[in-house]
Structure 1
Amino acid sequence: MRTFVVFDLEFTSWQGALEQDWGAPGQLREIVQIGALRLREDFSVAEEFEALVRPVANPRLSAYFTELTGIDQERVDREGRPPAEALGDFLGFCRGQSVLSHGNDMIVLGENLGWARARGEEVGNGFLGAHFLDIRPWLNSLAPRTEAVNVGRLWQVLGLARPGGGQEHSALFDCRSLAAAIEHLCGAGAALPEGCLRHS
């Protein structure tokens, strides 16, 4: 059966960082959490991926980030994995798939991959085995009311049932919100962008 992947990232942030495009000195978008779902063409979940990652440049999470995501320092210190290890495993999960995000998460992924390699760390797998696509323009064109909301609120603005497990700004919950929105629009007659479904 053909499948595709939806993914979401949570990365280091501070009050006002979004408005400043992370432009303040030292404010890097270091990945702290990766969530992904491999979906079959009937939108059922074939496999999940989740990883916590220990940031390197800013190892202490901001209070703003913790309040936003619910991810605290103790959990990252206890469960967080080295960036290169988590990134390599995620890219392996994506191999051979179309990989959809709501916005520029593939750019943040690329930044983190570059930093890991610049530190001399070996990352298993790579981008070339997957096809990354920002699905947000497709969603916004079909449902303009989604333009003003983040991925974790797509289910709400579309009037869908709340996805199970987690909260907004938790990577897997946001993946479920995105998956629900895609399923809803395809159920209403829309077609996924060309090439999104590939044989697993």
Structure 2
Amino acid sequence: MRTFVLFDLEFTTWPGALEDDWAAPGQLREIVQIGALRLREDFSVAEEYEALVRPVTNPRLSAYFTELTGIDQETVDREGLTPAEALGDFLGFCKGQAVLSYGNDMVVLGENVGWARARGEEVKNGFLGAHFLNIRPWLNSVAPVTANANVGRLWQMLQLPKPSAGNEHSALFDCLSFAAAVTHLSRTGHRLPEGTLSPVPGQPG
């Protein structure tokens, strides 16, 4: 059975950063948490992926970030992987798959890969082995009630059961919310965007 991946990122932020598009000096969107689900074409979960990442430019998490996500400094220092390790591992998880995001997370992923390589670090695996798709425009168009919702609130906007324990702005919970929305919409007659279940050329289907 074919599979595809849904993913979500949590990255460094500060009060007003979103509104200013991280334009303040020194404010970079460094990934702190990666969450992903590999789903079968019947929307059952084949595999989960979750990793914490230690940011480099801003290794101290802002109080705003911790309050938003629940991710604390001690946990990241103790359990976090280096960016190169986490990014390479995640790209390996995505190899041969269509990889769906709710928004521009693939851009943030690319920024972080670029910074790691600029530091001279080896990032195993790359983007060419996967097909990244932002399906937020599709999802918002078939379910306009979600237009202003972040990914962790999709289940609420569609009046679905809460997908698991946890809360929005935790990457894996946000993936479960995303998956619940995609599953519901697909099962109520909305066809996923073209290419979602197509294998990447040169990779096994």
1: CA distance between counterparts of 2:122 and 2:7?
Answer: 22
In structure 2, what is the equivalent of residue 47 of structure 1? 47
TM-score, scaled to structure 1: 0.99
User: Does 163-172 or 27-36 show the bigger shift?
Assistant: 163-172
Structure 2 CA distance, aligned partners of 1:165 and 1:157? 17
Paired position in structure 1 for 2:202: none
In structure 1, give the amino acid aligned to 2:19: E
Q: Name the Cα RMSD after superposition.
A: 0.7
Say how many residue pairs are matched. 200
Between stretches 165-174 and 66-75, larger displacement belongs to 165-174
Q: Distance in 1 between matches of 2:167 and 2:36?
A: 15
**What amino acid is aligned across from residue 162 of structure 1 in structure 2?**
K
Q: Which amino acid aligns with 1:10?
A: E
Equivalent residue, structure 2, for 1:140 = 140
Give the match for residue 119 of structure 2: 119
Cα distance in 2, alignment partners of residues 78 and 95 from structure 1: 28
Deviation string, structure 1 residues 100-148 (Cα, Å, up to 9, x no partner) = 0000000000000000000000000000000000010000000111011
> In 2, are the aligned partners of 1:94 and 1:130 still within 8 Å (CA)?
yes
Alignment of 1:82-93 (within 5 A): 82-93=82-93
Deviation readout 1:152-172 (Å, 9 max, x if unpaired): 000000000001132110000
Gaps of 5+ in 1: none
CA distance in 2, matches of 1:93, 1:166: 23
Name the aligned partner's letter for residue 3 of structure 2.
T
CA distance in 2, matches of 1:89, 1:166: 24
Residue identity in the other structure for 1:186: S
Deviation at 1:198, TM superposition (A): 3.7
Structure 2 length as normaliser, TM-score?
A: 0.96
Return 163-172 or 54-63, whichever deviates more. Answer: 163-172
User: Displacement of 1:31 after TM fit?
Assistant: 0.0
Partner of 1:7 in structure 2?
Answer: 7
CA distance in 2, matches of 1:187, 1:45: 16
Instruction: Tell me how far 1:195 sits from its aligned partner.
Output: 1.2
The answer to which of 84-93 and 165-174 deviates more is 165-174
Shift >3 Å, 4+ stretches: none
CA distance in 1, matches of 2:184, 2:8: 19
3-state SS, counterpart of residue 128 of structure 2? helix
Q: Helix, strand or coil: the match of 1:128?
A: coil
Structure 1 residue aligned with 2:35: 35
* Runs of 5+ consecutive residues of structure 2 not aligned to the other structure: 200-204
Deviations 1:20-74 (A, max 9, x none): 0000000000000000000001111000110000000000000000000000000
* 8 Å contact from structure 1 (residues 96, 198) kept in 2: no
